[in-house]
Structure 1
Amino acid sequence: MPEPIDVLFVCVSNRGKSVMAEHLSPTVTDRIAASSAGTSAKVGGHVNELSARSLAEVGVDVAGHRPRQLTDDLMRAADLVVVVGTAEVAAPEGVEIEVWDTVEPSVDGIDGIERMRLIRDDIAARIRALADRLER
């Protein structure tokens, strides 16, 4: 079996969507070695409480995750950088970027834990699709 590819998931704060992607990846596929960072991460912060709750519902524990600031070196070290949501990323030359325009249930008035469940499920489906593409 081929080695997994290194995927760096990026969102704004590294407290929600990118954390979901990083920690859901190993539950979906062994083709992705996932990590995450944020364009405006607050070092020393914690995962968004509702994100953590929605992940716990599917058996994923993110208690040890700490937000990490995105750097050019992190992007260069990845085989693929996936922007999850609305973060704006200017990648160094040669870095492959994919943007996932994830669902945003709040525009339809869906908030709280239900919003996070829908986002979690959308991200999990996108990880599955990425893994399927990697198999080809």
Structure 2
Amino acid sequence: MTDRPSVLFVCVKNGGKSQMAAGLMRAAVGDEVEVSSAGTQPGDTINALSAQSLLELGVDITGERTRQLTDDMVAAADRVVVLGRDAHVRPVGDTPVEVWDTDEPSERGIDGIERMRLVRDDIAARVRALAEHLRADVGQS
């Protein structure tokens, strides 16, 4: 049993947005929060542009691997964050599941590394807010 809060980030392939969020959260909070990520239909690799955009900030996710989401993972988390509109997570027990409707620059014709930087910056702002919230919650316990 840990007294650290735990956050599980989820997207479909677990190669892009959820890995970015997990990497950014680890960079923001270090060991203060237990961080993991998974996919509803995981791919085989980390998205190269996602990894490149994080490396620009000094966050390295190139060694991460994709994982299949399980009910046990959801139940074990204190909070589940779903990134984007495509992944759907069924709540398990009383673990709250929230959805971040993240920016999708490709809908505006923006692709490549420019797209990924915009996605990264959107996720980074949300992660910073969540990290502050989690720190406040820990301080109250």
Per the normalisation by structure 2, the TM-score is: 0.88
Find the counterpart in structure 2 of residue 80 from structure 1: 79
Query: Could you tell which deviates more after superposition, 66-75 or 123-132?
Result: 123-132
1:28 and 1:124 in contact (8 A); partners too:
no
Find the counterpart in structure 2 of residue 61 from structure 1: 60
Counterpart residue identity of residue 69, structure 1 = Q
Report deviation, 1:4.
Answer: 3.3
Find the counterpart in structure 1 of residue 49 from structure 2: 50
Name whichever structure is richer in helix by fraction: 2
DSSP-derived class of the 1:29 partner: helix
Find the counterpart in structure 2 of residue 119 from structure 1: 119
DSSP-derived class of the 1:59 partner: coil
Inter-partner Cα distance in structure 2 for 1:93 and 1:73 = 10
Per the normalisation by structure 1, the TM-score is: 0.91
2:36 is the counterpart of 1:35: yes
DSSP-derived class of the 2:24 partner: helix
1:29 and 1:128 in contact (8 A); partners too:
no
Find the counterpart in structure 2 of residue 9 from structure 1: 9
CA RMSD of aligned residues (A): 1.3
Inter-partner Cα distance in structure 1 for 2:110 and 2:55 = 20
* Structure 2, unpaired ranges of 5+: none
Return structure 1 stretches of 4+ with deviation > 6 angstroms: none
Inter-partner Cα distance in structure 1 for 2:115 and 2:33 = 26
Find the counterpart in structure 1 of residue 107 from structure 2: 107
How many residues align structurally? Answer: 132
Counterpart residue identity of residue 118, structure 2 = L
Task: Give the % identical residues.
Answer: 57
What's the CA shift string for 1:31-66, capped at 9, x where partnerless?
432110000013xx1101111110111111112111
Inter-partner Cα distance in structure 1 for 2:4 and 2:95 = 17
